[in-house]
Amino acid sequence: MTNPTAAMLVIGDEILSGRTRDSNMYYLAGELTRIGIRLCEVRVVADEHAAIVAGVNALRGAFDTVFTSGGIGPTHDDITADAIAAAFGVPITYRADAMDLLAKHYERQGLPFNEARQRMARIPDGAQLIENPVSTAPGFTLQNVHVMAGVPSIFQAMLASVLPGLTGGAPLLSQSLRVMRGEGEIAGDFAKLAAEFPELQLGSYPFNTNGVYGTNLVIRGTDAGMLDRAMTRLSAMFA
Amino acid sequence: MTNPTAAMLVIGDEILSGRTRDSNMYYLAGELTRIGIRLCEVRVVADEHAAIVAGVNALRGAFDTVFTSGGIGPTHDDITADAIAAAFGVPITYRADAMDLLAKHYERQGLPFNEARQRMARIPDGAQLIENPVSTAPGFTLQNVHVMAGVPSIFQAMLASVLPGLTGGAPLLSQSLRVMRGEGEIAGDFAKLAAEFPELQLGSYPFNTNGVYGTNLVIRGTDAGMLDRAMTRLSAMFA
């Protein structure tokens, strides 16, 4: 596949402790698939400087685009912006335009623009801001890394403003067939079909509903005609 | 923290394409926290040999225990066992005890023990089998790496037989306080409290429910008395 590649770095103790079930990874995966960008790897790390720096450096070197979520709020455990600056070896400063956005926001709300809130205007040098229509505090893009909030509604809003600027590929299409047979029964023929269509990905996902075994067979690819031909063969095999 | 550390490698195109929302990571995180093992990192990789080998080698060197999920079924895209053998540089062979388990299982079910099903008896040399009470095909443990199924019910059953053999630490306890103020308002005092209790982790998780802003403040640690003292201080701060 020649589609553009992406990776995600999820930053958050709350995921690793089991307090919160991830939803941003699932959301991003669906959005990227829709526009033909292939999500190749996700890493989840704790709110720790060294772990964030190592994670972002490994991923930004290996994939076209990297998305991060989490750790850009006003509290002491929000250390993502500093870690990204360190990863790129650039200074981080209070940015005038971000200070201005936030000052106006808190003035409108009648809330003090205190030291903690001002921290959210600290942005690595050379970054572009990502708009936050939910709660103003911006994300930012530094080279191929998009740094976004962990709160799902804000993550989704930021992603909506980042995606149109990315070069996608042919959308990844998928078709699936539900068969009431175990994986072990269909595996041989399914592998032969996979070998016939090397440009497609064929995956099988077993299920067990109320004691009944079956398998969802999924074919993915970017060529709609080829997908149809493979699906016709598949249906004939297991009808 | 001196608690034992762990990492997880999730193997599966279905997570990265957005078809399936992860549940094994969430389940494992909760179980490990309960027994005092700290989940430090999770990686999600595609069904690709090189990605699995690189992921498992990075994680098994860095953490005490590694759990993998996915890719141990009978179909052509189930390549985890081979990748684990390659990562450890050991041969992979049809294991007699696994063949025996599976042969009996399919005989009981009146189903052919065909080539695809026999593939599930291929186990890297030196591994111990992990029992699969759901569908028989075993997982395996090789040194500090526990290789388990991706189907959630089987993953959970395998984990239940692995966990009692692990050395846990003091369970990670947590207490939380819901305050109806934004993160930016409580951040200063919250950071001071965090500095007073360096052995505890203090995290804040903002929410917005029907337009009302608030923050869940969470304190985590292994010392119940210390946790109580910090929570008393926190309650006094934001009561």
For the residues of B25-64, what is the DSSP string, one character each?
Answer: HHHHHHHHHHTT-EEEEEEEE-S-HHHHHHHHHHHHHHSS
H or E stretch including A218? strand A212-221
Cβ distance of A18 and B31 shorter than 8 Å: yes
Residue-level pLDDT at A138: 96
Would the CA dihedral through A16, A20, A22, A24 be positive or negative? Answer: negative
CB-nearest partner of B14 from A17, A38, A205: A205
- Angstroms from A135 CA to nearest CA on chain B: 10
What pLDDT, on the 0 to 100 scale, is given for residue A230? Answer: 96
Closest-CA distance of chain A to residue B108, Å: 15
In this predicted model, what pLDDT tens digit does every residue of B56-86 receive, in sequence order? 999 999 999 999 999 999 998 899 999 999 9
Of all residues in chain B, what percent carry a pLDDT higher than 90? 81
Q: By the 8 A CB rule, do A54 and A47 touch?
A: no
8 Å CB contact of A41 and B44: yes
Instruction: Count Cα neighbours of A196 within 13 Å in the Cβ-side half-sphere.
Output: 14
Looking from the CA of A172 toward its CB, the CA atoms found within 13 Å total 29
Residue A176 belongs to what H/E stretch? strand A173-179
Inspect the interface and report whether the beta carbons of A41 and B46 lie closer than 8 Å.
yes
Among residues B200, B191, B233, which one has the least CA distance to residue A115? B191
Residue A94 to residues A115, A129, A132, B86, Cα–Cα distance (Å)? 11, 13, 17, 49
Return the DSSP state at B181: S
CB contact under 8 A, A46 and B41: yes
- Residue in A closest to B10 by C-alpha: A42
Select the more confidently predicted residue: A214 or A8.
A8
Characterize A118-140 residue by residue with b for buried, 16 or more Cβ atoms within 10 angstroms of its Cβ, and e for exposed: bbbbbbbeebebbebeebbbbbb
- B51/A40 Cβ within 8 A: yes
pLDDT for B196 equals: 95
Contact A192, A228 (CB under 8 A): no
Q: Kindly report the nearest CA distance between residue A178 and chain B, in angstroms.
A: 15
Tokens, residue A8: 């995600």
Taking CB atoms and an 8 Å limit, are A203 and B14 in contact across chains? yes
Q: What is the pLDDT of residues B164-210, one digit of tens each?
A: 899 888 888 889 999 999 888 999 999 999 999 999 989 888 887 77
Let me know: does A213 contact A160? Beta carbons within 8 Å: no
CA pair distance B171, B59, nearest whole angstrom:
23
For an interface test with A, the pick among B1, B10, B17, B102 (most A C-beta atoms closer than 10 Å) comes out as: B17
Query: Which residue among B26, B183, B188 sits closest to A18, beta carbon to beta carbon?
Result: B26
- The answer to whether residues B37 and B2 touch, using CB atoms and an 8 Å cutoff, is no
Give yes or no for a contact between A70 and A13, defined as CB atoms under 8 angstroms apart.
Answer: no
Among A42, A162, A195, CA closest to B17:
A42
Nearest CA in chain B to A188: B116
Contact at CB, A29 and B42, closer than 8 angstroms: no
Tell me the two tokens of residue B17: 């394409």
pTM attached to this predicted model: 0.91
pLDDT at position A213, please? Answer: 82
Give the residue from B33, B77, B217 with the most A CB atoms within 10 Å of its CB, the best one to mutate: B77
Sheet of strand A201-209, all strands in order from the earlier edge strand to the far edge: A173-179, A212-221, A201-209
Q: How many CB atoms lie within 10 A of CB B119?
A: 22
pLDDT of residue B3: 87
Q: What angle, 0 to 180 degrees and rounded to 10, lies between the N-to-C axes of helices B49-62 and B80-88?
A: 50
Structural domains in chain A plus CATH codes: 5-165 (3.40.980.10), 173-238 (3.30.70)
Q: What percent of chain B has pLDDT over 70?
A: 100
Residue A66 to residues A144, A145, B109, B229, Cα–Cα distance (Å):
6, 5, 47, 41
CB-CB under 8 Å, A151 with B203: no
User: Within its chain, how far is the Cα of B129 from the centroid?
Assistant: 18
Predicted local confidence at residue B198, as pLDDT: 93
The candidate with the shortest Cα–Cα distance to B106, out of B74, B78, B147, is B74
Rounded to a whole number, what is the largest CA-CA distance in chain B? 67
Ranges assigned E (strand) in A35-164: 38-45, 65-69, 92-94, 122-124, 128-130, 139-142, 145-148
Burial of B223 (0-12, 13-18, 19+ CB in 10 A): middle
Question: How near does any CA of chain B get to the CA of A98, in Å?
Answer: 15
CB spacing of A114 vs B185 below 8 angstroms: yes
Look at residue B213 in the predicted model and tell me its pLDDT: 82
Instruction: Give A9's pLDDT tier (boundaries 50, 70, 90).
Output: very high
The continuous run of DSSP H or E covering A225 comes out as helix A224-238
- The mean pLDDT of A116-123, rounded to a whole number, is 96
Q: What is the mean pLDDT of residues A65-90?
A: 96
Average pLDDT of A87-104? 97
Chain B residues with CB-CB distance to A71 below 8 A? none
Q: Which residue of A has its CA nearest to B211?
A: A134
The answer on pLDDT for B1 being more than 70 is no
Contacts of B101 (CB under 8 A, 6+ apart): B121, B129, B136, B138
Distance from C-alpha of A104 to C-alpha of A97, rounded to nearest angstrom: 11
Look at strands B92-94 and B122-124 and give their pairing: antiparallel
Distance CA A63, CA A65 (A): 6
Q: Which chain A residues are closer than 8 Å to B202 by Cβ?
A: 76-77
